[in-house]
Structure 1
Amino acid sequence: MSVADTGGVSTSYNRLQQLKSFDESKAGVKGLVDSGITKLPQIFIRPPEELAADNQTPSQFTIPVIDLKGVSGDRSKVVAAVREAAETVGLFQVVNHGVPLKVLEETLTAARQFHELPQEVKGEYYTRDKMKKVKYGSNFDLYRTRYANWRDTLLCVMGPDPLHPQELHLVCRFVI
């Protein structure tokens, strides 16, 4: 493996092998951190020129807010607002959705607790199987993007059929 002048980033490596090794470990990004790595794997490194190009976004960025009470039950206005936000910005915040703050806080706590579980336990949920309703993974698009993102995800598919509580790990099961 050769090392270029670009800050010690390797210019020649087997990307597919590194991706498979990372994916097959079922440990995710948190597993890399917990293993005590001292050097970022190359699959996560983007060249400085690409990072500079990404930083050309305006410094004044506003996240659209979708207020479910503010549209007085007019579903078409909600759909239009969501469509506009998704198409122009790519994300949005929903307010006045009726989910109690306690439930939101408990959900975040459960997600944190899940990610703090031992790798062997989380690994049982690690999958790329589209049919699974509870999935733990890292980079849903791992094999399709040029650079992996430094993130892990716990995904729970709640519809169209309800998720059976037994499919969730115990730390996530009793959020009400």
Structure 2
Amino acid sequence: MAAYQIQAENDSDYDRQTEFKAFDDTKAGVKGLVDAGVTKIPRMFIHEQCIKLDDTPAFHDPSFRIPIIDFEGWNEDETRRRDIVQKLGSACKKWGFFQMVNHGIPGSILEEIIDGIHSFHHQDVEVKKEFYSRDYSRKVLYNSNFDLYQVPAASWRDTLTCVMAPSPPDPEELPLVCRDILIDYSKRIMALGNTLFELLSEALGLEPDHLKDIGCAEGLYVLGHCYPACPEPELTMGTTKHADSGFLTLLLQDQIGGLQVLYENQWIDVTPMPGALVVNVGDLFQASA
């Protein structure tokens, strides 16, 4: 693959930015490294915190589990609606995360969007290169690590980014392999988002349209991540510890999972549930409150 070379760990002339650029110039992403058969990961992906970890397992209290909220009948019965609103408020206040079930998006659609994103990342690199860019004014782009040149170590991750609202791209701009499902899924997520913002407004003690009226439901970014199998997973991370600011994030996990939430100084696994969506309110709910 291209002219990219992995620099030796003991290279005294090691230049991280040069390695970042060499990797970026391949336009093949992390998936390209795996396809090339690397057995040792490039130094740019090695995270110091991983090296410092010992073999002592982290303590997890099995009673700690992010809330699961059943949305069935949310708009059919006032008592049922009030119960959901109360559970939403409690989940946002205590956790900032919850899982939605019976939210109205069929499981077949969720499986199809996962399959579509998987198909994009696993197609021929020459096809993907058409979308590779760091021009974030584009509505559709693919790359590895949006902050590649700013971080001390890169994450083992590639991402397809599609800005689907408020001004969606022309259908022809979307990758053919997942075009139809991206359009369908985005419409359904926007409708679900409107419902969620309505209920969150009520959980804040506000009028149902408050969050929508101030523009919270206008935008939609669809991020399709790929975390290829890593030859040295103990040295890197797919996603580093972070907080989401100013966005309401709906996460769709495949059945492999891997997401963790920090709660009372413990990292809690978010176990994937078939048909569920994980909601991260980030800092949005705090700001609105």
Query: Which residue of structure 2 lines up, in the alignment, with residue 116 of structure 1?
Result: 122
Q: Which moved more, 1:26-35 or 1:138-147?
A: 138-147
Are 1:35 and 2:44 matched, yes or no? no
1 or 2, which has the higher strand percentage?
Answer: 2
State the alpha-carbon separation in 1 of the partners of residues 90 and 150 from structure 2.
Answer: 31
Deviation at 1:49, TM superposition (A): 6.5
Deviation at 1:80, TM superposition (A): 7.6
Rate the CA distance shift 1:9–1:137 in 2: closer, same or farther, 3 A: same
Deviation at 1:9, TM superposition (A): 3.2
Deviation at 1:163, TM superposition (A): 3.4
SS at match of 1:157: strand
Q: Deviations over 1:127-174 (max 9, x none)?
A: 222221222111112112211111111122211123332111111012
Instruction: Kindly report structure 1 stretches of 4+ aligned residues shifted beyond 6 Å.
Output: 73-77
SS at match of 1:94: strand
The 8 Å contact of residues 44 and 150 in structure 1, kept in 2 or not, is answered as yes
Counterpart code for 2:39:
T
Query: Which residue of structure 1 lines up, in the alignment, with residue 139 of structure 2?
Result: 133
Are 1:156 and 2:173 matched, yes or no? no
Are 1:52 and 2:61 matched, yes or no? no
Deviation at 1:81, TM superposition (A): 4.4
Q: Deviations over 1:22-54 (max 9, x none)?
A: 11211100011111223210001123675418x
SS at match of 1:20: helix
Counterpart code for 1:45:
I
Q: Deviations over 1:55-81 (max 9, x none)?
A: 885434634445544672877975784
Query: Which residue of structure 2 lines up, in the alignment, with residue 173 of structure 1?
Result: 179
Are 1:62 and 2:65 matched, yes or no? yes
State the alpha-carbon separation in 1 of the partners of residues 113 and 133 from structure 2.
Answer: 21
Rate the CA distance shift 1:21–1:138 in 2: closer, same or farther, 3 A: same
Q: Deviations over 1:58-115 (max 9, x none)?
A: 43463444554467287797578457644xxxx5533332111111111111111101
Which residue of the other structure, out of 51, 65, 81, is the alignment partner of 1:72? 81
Query: Which residue of structure 1 lines up, in the alignment, with residue 99 of structure 2?
Result: 93
State the alpha-carbon separation in 2 of the partners of residues 51 and 27 from structure 1.
Answer: 30
Counterpart code for 2:156:
W
State the alpha-carbon separation in 1 of the partners of residues 117 and 173 from structure 2.
Answer: 15
Aligned-residue sequence identity (percent) comes to: 45
Counterpart code for 2:9:
V
SS at match of 2:108: helix
Task: Report the TM-score, using the length of structure 1 for normalisation.
Answer: 0.76
The 8 Å contact of residues 68 and 78 in structure 1, kept in 2 or not, is answered as no
State the alpha-carbon separation in 2 of the partners of residues 85 and 29 from structure 1.
Answer: 32
The 8 Å contact of residues 138 and 153 in structure 1, kept in 2 or not, is answered as yes
In structure 2, list runs of 5 or more residues that go unmatched: 1-6, 75-79, 185-289
Task: Report the TM-score, using the length of structure 2 for normalisation.
Answer: 0.49
SS at match of 2:123: coil
Q: Which moved more, 1:125-134 or 1:91-100?
A: 91-100
Query: Which residue of structure 2 lines up, in the alignment, with residue 9 of structure 1?
Result: 9
The 8 Å contact of residues 91 and 98 in structure 2, kept in 1 or not, is answered as no
In structure 1, list runs of 5 or more residues that go unmatched: none
